[in-house]
Copies of this chain bind each other. A is one copy, B any other.
Amino acid sequence: MTADSTDHALGPRPDDDHPFAGDPVFDLHLGGKLETVATVALTGRDDLSKAYTPGVARVCEAIAEDPVMTRHYTWVPNTVAIVTDGTAVLGLGDIGPSAAMPVMEGKAVLFKQFGGVDAVPICLATTDVEEIIETVARLAPSFGGVNLEDISAPRCFEIEDRLKERLDIPVFHDDQHGTAVVALAALQNALRLTGRDPATTRVVIQGAGAAGVAVAKILLEAGVTDLAVLDRQGVLHSSRSDLTPVKRALAEVTADRHDRRGSLADVMAGADVYLGVSGGTVPEEVVASMAPEAIIFGLANPQPEVHPDVAHRYARVVATGRSDFPNQINNVLAFPGIFRGAFDVGATAITEGMKLAAATALADLVGDDLAEDLIVPSPFDPRVGPAVSAAVAEAARRDGVATR
């Protein structure tokens, strides 16, 4: 019956004369980068009565009786909320929730393309810690996981910690842990390449925000012991009186141990590894003071803390966050596979073990191709998602957070 066809294609109207028409980046963003699509076809009343009333009522009742049915009959277990308050977006800072949306949509695209994970951007009109926590907790029945994004430090630490405690689904602040996982993978390969042992390698991390703190923690877990983390005032050390609780706790397990203190120049002299997540710059003479065969990761975007041209004068292995240089340390190598793996086993959390497993899987993918200009795989390497997700799922089982 023609009356039962649905060939009308309603949708947003063309917007060809948009304000930045002709600019390739804005042209690509026209109308946004994401849509919702049905996975079932409704071609007539019979379909409608199954997918909607009255048929759907039986599915609702089955879930009301046994919440585990959510796993089978809804999109929830494969869907992540990408939650931001817009306070720390890229290098742009506090630009607010509306202006953060293009990044969150981009992230949703990457979640799907590289992890087969459905993702919904949620940009919140509040920057209050309690309100963000309450809001995400109220949203939780709708999602299988929460990816916190671009929330400024130190609020991001408390928000993540308390949500992890409160919810029985994975909560993951990507600016911390995505960066940490990929940085660790790259560092493992750089150490291998330069014949270093993590336990005797001297590492300097410039930047004590979300990424810096998380990178420091994962390096400690991976066996690094001589680690100095710096904020703008210098090395985090317990002798300082200006440290936040998060920084003080970090000082105690990093610079305090080898009593490294002072300025960047003080700790860079003789250091094996520099890892920049600060957005600052390192004077060339300070770079020059590092140990032979140094490793330099300048991860700030778009301007690395040490430009690769300068870094290469003194270091053997150089990485950045940029796609136009070799060795791009990019979170997209981690978060899609991490959530894929967590969802595959119905993980109730993302553990330290799962993150370490993701990093090792990434590092191992490089294999025999390991070289100064190839310490991490390409995001477009089709092996990345499957390898990371398999390692993460296995670690979830090992850590006892898998539910299937």
Contact = CB atoms under 8 A, between A and B. Distances in A.
A138 interface: yes
B6 A382 contact: yes
Among A26, A29, A108, chain B packs the most CB atoms within 10 A around the CB of A29
Interface stretch (A93-101, A205-213, A280-288): A93-101
Given A36-B118, A101-B142, A382-B8, A29 B90 contact: no
Rank and list the top 8 A-B pairs by shortest CB-CB distance, nearest first: A32-B75, A11-B116, A10-B116, A64-B99, A97-B141, A63-B99, A38-B109, A29-B73
B10 A385 contact: yes
Given A60-B99, A102-B56, A105-B74, A36 B3 contact: no
Interface in A7-29: 7-13, 15, 18-20, 24-26, 28-29
A61 B23 CA distance: 14
Interface string A247-270: 000000000000000000000000
Contact of A386 (B8, B381, B383): B8
Interface string A272-290: 0000000000000000000
A60 B92 contact: yes
A44 interface: yes
Contacts of A113: 6, 38, 42
B35 A51 contact: no
Interface in A114-149: 114-116, 118-126, 131, 134-135, 137-142
A50 B25 contact: yes
Contacts of A336: 10
Given A18-B73, A53-B301, A63-B95, 11 more contacts: A10-B114, A12-B344, A32-B76, A34-B75, A36-B79, A45-B378, A97-B141, A122-B142, A125-B137, A125-B141, A135-B139
B73 A26 contact: yes
A52 B141 contact: no
Contacts of A126: 138
A118 B32 CA distance: 11
Interface residues of A, number: 127
Among A28, A58, A113, A138, chain B packs the most CB atoms within 10 A around the CB of A138
A389 interface: yes
Given A26-B59, A114-B10, A138 B131 contact: yes
Nearest to A102: B59
B115 A72 contact: no
A323 B45 contact: yes
Interface string A326-356: 0000001000110010011000000000000
B39 A33 contact: yes
A114 B90 CA distance: 37
A95 B64 contact: yes
Contact of A34 (B39, B49, B137): B39
A107 B42 CA distance: 12
A396 to B, nearest CB: 14
Contacts of A105: 74-75
Nearest to A167: B125
A116 B59 CA distance: 26
A89 interface: yes
Contacts of A245: none
A70 B101 contact: yes
Given A10-B114, A20-B62, A381 B32 contact: no
A332 to B, nearest CB: 7
A378 to B, nearest CB: 5
